[in-house]
């Protein structure tokens, strides 16, 4: 999905780069309850910070993933949605042992 480096504990700040969208920036871990919840603020302290909340739940012998983002600019909602879709597909490809998708071709 990308590269992340920094302090990945509660309250820690990190730097990230997502391969598919090319997005680069900073974030802060707001909540972490392994293996169920990760809540992070992206671009903390900046004018357009937004929140990504990822929840995992057991579902039989599978896992349900819920990815929610809040605070996105309304005029960029479609672009954010497309980017999130590609990131989730990349994650599924990684978990399935496949190569990530060609985001530019999409």
Q: Among 60, 63, 64, 18, which Cα is nearest to 40's?
A: 18
pLDDT in tens, 18-55: 888 788 999 999 999 999 999 999 987 788 889 999 99
* Reported pTM: 0.83
What pLDDT does residue 32 have? Answer: 93
Cβ atoms within 10 Å, residue 64: 10
pLDDT in tens, 60-102: 999 999 999 999 889 989 988 888 888 888 888 888 999 887 7
């Amino acid at each position: 999905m990308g590269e992340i480096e920094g302090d990945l504990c509660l309250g820690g700040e990190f730097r990230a780069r997502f391969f598919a969208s090319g997005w680069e920036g900073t974030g802060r871990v707001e909540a972490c309850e392994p293996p169920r919840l990760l809540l992070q603020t992206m671009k903390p302290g900046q004018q357009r910070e937004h929140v990504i909340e990822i929840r995992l739940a057991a579902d039989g012998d599978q896992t349900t993933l819920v990815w929610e983002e809040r605070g996105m600019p309304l005029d960029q909602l479609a672009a954010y949605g497309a980017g999130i879709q590609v990131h989730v597909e990349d994650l599924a490809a990684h978990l399935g042992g496949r190569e990530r998708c060609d985001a530019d071709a999409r």
